[in-house]
Amino acid sequence: MMNTIWTIVHKESAQMLRSQRGLLWLLAFSGLLSAFSLLLVSNTELSLLDNAQVVYMMAGTVLAAGALLSAILGSDAYAGEKERGTLVPLLCAPVAPSALLAGKAMGLLAAWGVMFAVATPYLWAVGASGQNLGAALFYLALFGTPVVLGFGYLAMALSARTGSVLASLLSTVTLLMLAASPLIIGPGLRGTAIGRALDAVNPFAGALNTFDSVIIDSDPFSAQTARLLLVIVWLGLCLIAARRSAARPDFQ
Q: Rounded distance, CA 251 to CA 32, Å?
A: 36
Q: Which of residues 95-114 bind other proteins (CB under 8 A)?
A: none
Q: Rounded distance, CA 202 to CA 179, Å?
A: 6
Give yes or no for residue 15 binding other proteins (CB under 8 A).
Answer: no
Q: How many CB atoms lie within 10 A of CB 224?
A: 21
Q: Which of 83, 91, 97, 131 binds other proteins (CB under 8 A)?
A: 131
Nearer to other proteins, 38 or 197 (CB): 38
Q: Rounded distance, CA 245 to CA 224, Å?
A: 32
CB of 32 to other proteins, least distance (A): 10
| Residue-by-residue DSSP string for 121-153 | HHHHHHHTTSS-HHHHHHHHHHHHHHHHHHHHH
Q: How many CB atoms lie within 10 A of CB 30?
A: 15
- Show the binding pattern over residues 21-50: x = contacts other proteins (CB under 8 A), - = does not: --xx-xx--xx-xx--xx-xx--x--xxxx
Instruction: Calculate helix-pair angle for 51-83, 20-42, nearest 10 degrees.
Output: 160
CB of 110 to other proteins, least distance (A): 16
| CB contact at 8 A, 3 and 96 | no
CB of 133 to other proteins, least distance (A): 11
CB of 117 to other proteins, least distance (A): 10
Give yes or no for residue 3 binding other proteins (CB under 8 A).
Answer: no
Give yes or no for residue 130 binding other proteins (CB under 8 A).
Answer: yes
Which residues contact other proteins (rule: CB under 8 A)? 17-18, 20, 23-24, 26-27, 30-31, 33-34, 37-38, 40-41, 44, 47-51, 54, 118, 121-122, 124-126, 128-131
